[in-house]
Every structure is written in structure tokens, then in C-alpha cells.
Structure 1
């Protein structure tokens, strides 16, 4: 049942991104859908990424995208959106967890997502403009895990912030 609830979260994000793709518009109110960054120093580092993602269009969107590079294991990316122009490409990468307040995402899961982001950046390396990672947990995060994600340059979202 929990797996099915997680898939529904993926579908919610996928449908929203796909709607914006069909309208040839950036993601509606992207900045407002992200949880506040815990420390001002981390926000300053993420400001450009937030601005770029808020203004960019994504032409391709996948749910459950499997990425395999030489000498790496196959990684599943829950939702991946990619855009490009003649000079560069950009990506929006989501990790989605259907977690409640009693069982938030663990540090190990957060570290695995950081590894996925590194693989995506390596995959896009030759012409990358930005990769915007978002960790989406239905009912939020443990404060220490969310702060660590922000330190790593990863935005966070929950059901309440996303559906505003």
C-alpha cells in the first residue's frame, strides 16, 4: 500500500510538470512550492538554481527513469524533467517518498539521492546549465536530514508546500 501511495505522489508531480510542458510554460509558482531553506547561507547558494528553474521550460518528462552509466549500477529517478537549447541542457530531478511524521526519510536515503544527482550531472556533463534536485517527502523531514539536504544544494518539498 505504501508503494502505491508513493507512486501517486510521483504521478501528482509528473502531471503538474507535464501540464506546464504542454502549455510551453515554466513550472507554475515553482519557488512557492519549495519548503523554506533552513539557513540563509544555504539559500544564497540555491538562489540562482531556484531562479533558473522557475524561468525554464522542460520539453521532456519521465516518471521512473532508469539511468545507467558505465561502471555504475542502474539508478531509478522518480521524476526527471529535461530541457535544452542549442547551447546547453538543464534538468529537474525529483526523489519522492510517501513518509509521515513518525517515519521521515533517513540520512541514508538522502545520501543515496545525492549520489543520484552526481550521476545525473555526469550524464549531462558536456553542456549542463543546471541540475535542480528536489527531495519531496509527503509529511516533511527530520530537521537534521533537511538541513543536510540544504547543505548539499538540494531543495525540499512536502505535500502541503507543493499543493499551495
Structure 2
């Protein structure tokens, strides 16, 4: 219960800065919206589990690393896609591959799927029923083993560190 109160207070402060009006009434409204948001998402994020302040503070550098790696991968993929588009010959082999994942939490699986979809040239299509495999469409699957390794080593690894 204490973590709900702490999160509601933080979300109230964030609401004040986002809305551009810092007042007690606006803070209370933001906190109320935060409580409603947490209640609607509590099954997905399980706020009761592992929510100590120290754990949250330890995740900040890992989240920063994840976001940095994500920006680097998006930039590299954008350059690759630009080279494909601007090249004189369209030499691609689009296809769908099955990528086994190690994530166990719903939030981690969602983060991995969204990270793949944010990277230009790839799109997460589906998740298997047992939540152990992602089906990914790629603009070029000429080397599916390297593509799977890239997703597991560059994207999934940092998602697991940040979210699990």
C-alpha cells in the first residue's frame, strides 16, 4: 500500500510539471489520476512485487543504458534502411523469423516487442501462446541466425536488465 502512495505522489508531481501549473489542487488531481492509472495497470505491472525504493534507484542506470542502446540501434538501423532505399538495386530478402526470448514478465515481453518494432526494418508480429517466442518480420533475413543473435544480445539483454 505504501508504494501506491509513493507512486501517486510522484505522479502528482510529474502531472504538475507536464500540465505547466504547479498548485496544490493540480497536484491532488495528478495524484488522483496516478491512482486511477495504477489501479487499471496493477495486474500488468504487479506493484506489490519488488518495489523497494532501493530497487527502483538501482534500475535507473540500467534504464538509461537501455535507452542509450536503443537510440544507437535505431540510428544504425535507420542508416541501413536508408542505404537499402537509396541503393540502385533493391537487394533484400524479407521474411518472418521466430525469436526465442528469455523474458518472464509481461512488462519485459512488451518492452522487447516494442523495442523490436521501434527499430527500423523490423516489426514484431506475434507472441507465442507460451510467451517464449516472438515472431518478427524483418526487411532482410538473409542471415536469420545473426538476426536472432542481434535481437537477443543487443536488445533483449538490456531489456532484461532494465525490467526484470
TM, length-normalised to structure 1: 0.28
Task: Tell which structure's C-alpha radius of gyration is larger.
Answer: 2
Structure with the larger strand share = 1
TM, length-normalised to structure 2: 0.28
Structure with the larger helix share = 2
Specify which structure has the bigger relative contact order, considering alpha-carbon pairs within 8 angstroms and separated by 6 or more residues. Answer: 1
